Amino acid sequence: MELLQKGGVHVKKVLVSIKNELLSEAVIRTIKECGEFVVDRISPDSAKSITQPFDLMDADIYLMEISYLPGTTLNQRLNEIHNLRSSNPECKFVILCDDTAAPEIARKVTQLKRDHVIDAFFYTSVTANYLISTLVSL
């Protein structure tokens, strides 16, 4: 994956798909503030249509939320990952979920990581520093 250059520094492109607007803005702001990423947002409601333009977006990391809400369910996100991984095999797929409100989803997401379906996951209670450190390491 070709890295973008920002002031002589190589930066990764992160695509964020989180339905909760407040959470989405907070995550995007946190990622942008570290200065190591270029961030784009895509609505989970339109995420199913990104299979084609995903190659054009050239994302290095796709950070997506899984919840019980339409557009963010486990099955919908697994379908996205399956469809997008073939067109962008270098992309890292990262899941964000709420382990308190949806413990069953959290258990399934943990298993997805064990099975190497996803590259990383975070609970919504994660600290900003840990989120950034892990994304940088991908």
What whole-number distance in Å separates Cα of residue 14 and Cα of residue 132?
11
What whole-number distance in Å separates Cα of residue 64 and Cα of residue 26?
14
Report the 10 Å Cβ neighbour count for 84.
Answer: 20
Which domains can be identified in the chain, with CATH numbers?
4-137 (3.40.50.2300)
Classify residue 48 by its DSSP letter.
G
- Packing angle between helix 74-87 and helix 103-114, nearest 10 degrees? 30
Give, for all 138 residues of the chain, the pLDDT tens digit.
Answer: 444 555 556 789 999 999 989 999 999 999 999 989 999 998 877 655 555 445 446 889 999 999 999 989 999 999 989 988 888 889 999 999 999 999 999 999 999 999 999 999 999 999 899 999 999 999
What whole-number distance in Å separates Cα of residue 117 and Cα of residue 94?
10
